[in-house]
Amino acid sequence: MAKHIHKCYSCNEYTLEVKCPKCNQPAILPKPPKFSLNDKYSSYRREIKKKELEEKGII
């Protein structure tokens, strides 16, 4: 595939162009890059969980 499918978040329209053909808003790639905020968030959650266990005297 030469082109990626972009998504317009104004009207939820998918397009191969970088601009939405419907509302002319910029359309972006719906998939976030690798190692996104989700990964940071899950490691942050692990820290919280560890602290919780320490406070309960489990570790």
Q: Is 23 in the site for Zn ion (CB under 5 A)?
A: yes
Count of residues touching Zn ion (by CB under 5 A): 8
Q: Is 12 in the site for Zn ion (CB under 5 A)?
A: no
Determine the number of helices (DSSP H) and then strands (DSSP E) in the chain. Answer: 1, 2
Q: Looking up tokens 């919280």, which residue turns up? A: 48
CA distance linking residue 50 with residue 59, whole number of Å: 8
Task: Report the residue from 10, 29, 46, 50 that binds Zn ion according to the rule CB under 5 A.
Answer: 10
CA distance linking residue 25 with residue 13, whole number of Å: 10
Q: Cβ closer to Zn ion: 13 or 28?
A: 13
Chain residues that interact with Zn ion, rule: CB under 5 A: 8, 10-11, 13, 20, 22-23, 25
